[in-house]
Chains A and B, each alone.
Chain A
Amino acid sequence: MGEPFDISYVFEYLVKLLPTLKVTLLIVVSSIVIGLGVGFIVALPQLYKIPILRRLSQVYLSFFRGTPILIQLFLFYYGLPEILKLVNVDVAKLPALYFVILTYALHSGAYLAEMIRAAVGAVDRGQVEAAYSVGMTGFQAFTRIVLPQAMAISIPVFSNLVIANLKDTSLAFSLGIMELTGKSQTLAVMSRHFVETYISLALIYFVISFGLEKLFHLIEKKLLRHERRLAAEDKEPRLHKGKTKRFRFIAGPGFGRGGRENEA
């Protein structure tokens, strides 16, 4: 199968693949940004226990976490134009990229909603009560007190979600998007240097996700600097240094992390 292995092609294809990195990053960034909005809207009914909306958001979460992203991609790609035809909006000519971004946004939205819910739940109840006691309104208490703390708590999960989203974008090739994987498929088929192409593809993904993880680690450190002091004060004797550090891992196989969110 293909031409004999030649390591020099790995570097050549690395250069050829890099321009398509911006398509991948475009999908990641825009779907995470939209997904955050979606996640908020979905999480709010659950946080404030609004009767009917709460059920709806549960169904939303269950669906997007209970089906593979690949199926969702096809479902939206083929289904959305038909649904929108009902209200006389013709999107059949729209580039597939928009469908891809929308699907990833809705998919990440479900996980982000869970993240927001868990993070807000993790903020001490006393904080809100204290905010109320100094005369803040519900909105003020949320934006000034709960949100900043919740953000710091949720950074590890958020980092995992962004990296998982990055890896999920490799599936966009199935709708013919020329992102990293799509481009590598074309390159591989044309040159018949399959292994070399996919090695350089893997390298790019690896570097990006590694960089993202380090970046989020820095952000987390920065956001948690007020916590750090507290943690240092109540020094407890720890038997095993290094083993007690907070455990974190990328949720699921980076692809359709169904079921409950892992305890992060």
Chain B
Amino acid sequence: MKLDFAFIWTAFLQLLTAIPTALAITAVSVLCGLVIGTAVAIVRLYKIPVLYQIAASYVTFIRGTPMLTHLLLIYFGLPIIVDGIAEALGLSFRSVSIPMIGFAYLSFSITAGAYMSEVVRSGLLAVNRGQIEAAYSIGMTTSQAMRRIILPQAFSASLPNLSNMIIGMLHGSTLAFTVSVVEINAKAQIVATTNWKFFEAYLAAAIIFWGLTFIIERLTALAEKRFNLYNRGGVS
């Protein structure tokens, strides 16, 4: 086997240009997922009547089906819905004008939201019940107790899971190639087809992902140290 090291380097350099796309997909899906997930988790924790059933079935369905099917369903299903609504309302907007990456953003956010709700839920449950009682006892309202007492602690408790989520969504961003978004995987394919050196191109892609994953892990380790400062116990 002749491994073309020069080409790995060329591919590596070209793949670097696709990193922003991958990171954008990751960031958007994780952030939107966090918002959806927090809402769903709160609905499920407080058992709000009708919403509770909807939230539960949303989480169960999303977690029971592959991320790829969500993407495909959104990609093919959303235009039908959007066009239907636009036509009914007499708007000139058509689904064609939605950029490809929009489908990826939306679908991955929906996927991330379901998993994130579990991350948030486990984080909230990890906070001692006494904390919120103490907050109430000194006269805080529920929203104050949530914002000032519970959420910060829940956040630091769920950091490891959050890091897993971010890495998972980063790896998931490779799926966007199915809706013709040029992220790292698609770029590797494009680079490889110039001279059919697929192995080298994918090796470069693997190195990039490995590096990105490593960086995310390091960063969360740092964040964990920072956010768990309060948790050291003993004398301050």
Contacts and interface: CB of A to CB of B under 8 A. Distances in A.
A251 B73 contact: no
Interface in A240-261: 240, 243, 247, 249-261
A257 B164 contact: yes
Please classify the interface of chain A as helix (H, G, I), strand (E, B), loop, or mixed, using the class held by over half of its residues.
helix
Count class of interface residues, chain B? 35 or more
Contacts of A260: 160, 163-164, 217
A168 B66 contact: yes
Contacts of B163: 259-260
Contact of A253 (B1, B172, B198): B172
A62 B199 CA distance: 20
A63 B209 CA distance: 9
A136 to B, nearest CB: 36
B63 A259 contact: no
A173 to B, nearest CB: 8
Given A66-B210, A249-B122, A195 B202 contact: no
Contact of B198 (A65, A74, A181, A206): A74
B171 A167 contact: no
A71 B173 CA distance: 11
B171 A67 contact: yes
A254 B61 CA distance: 13
Contacts of B67: 167, 253-255
A227 B135 CA distance: 36
Interface stretch (A35-43, A80-88, A123-131, A229-237): A80-88
A132 B161 CA distance: 37
Given A62-B210, A70-B185, A198 B73 contact: yes
Given A253-B165, A262-B164, A69 B202 contact: no
A248 to B, nearest CB: 9
Contacts of A263: 160-161
A67 B206 contact: yes
A254 B188 CA distance: 23
A78 interface: yes
Given A78-B198, A263-B160, A254 B66 contact: yes
Contact of A71 (B129, B202, B220): B202
A78 B70 CA distance: 28
Contacts of A121: none
A201 B72 CA distance: 10
B167 A63 contact: no
A11 to B, nearest CB: 17
Interface of B: 1, 60-61, 63-70, 72-73, 76-77, 79-80, 111-112, 115, 118-119, 121-122, 125, 129, 160-161, 163-165, 167-172, 174-175, 184-185, 188, 198-199, 202-203, 205-206, 209-210, 213-214, 216-217, 220
Closest 3 CB pairs of A and B: A256-B171, A258-B167, A194-B76
